[in-house]
Amino acid sequence: PGQSMFLILSGNVNMMRQGKLLKELEPGDYVGQLALLANAPRVVSALAVTDIVLLEIHDEDFYELMAGRFEVLQSIVRHLSRRLLTLLPNL
């Protein structure tokens, strides 16, 4: 199960599933949040296409951050919803 998520500080990451490119992520994007929230295995692979710098956020820190800041939770839910909508045709 995903126990952390990653914020991309620099570089680019391709999100892949079964060898198919789903989306290219850039600095400011994050990965791993679905597995973290669902406490489930990761279902998409992340492939660095350039040198990257990531910030790892562990589940305990993530939930502590969300508990005190509604705007963070709201932003993450919005972002997840948009990402799911763009991925649905590819699944």
Q: Does residue 58 carry a pLDDT above 90? A: yes
| Residue matched to tokens 């040198």 | 51
Confidence of residue 53 (pLDDT cuts 50, 70, 90): very high
Reported pTM: 0.78
**Is residue 68 exposed (0-12), middle (13-18) or buried (19+ Cβ within 10 Å)?**
exposed
Distance CA 25, CA 2 (A): 19
Q: What is the pLDDT of residue 87?
A: 67
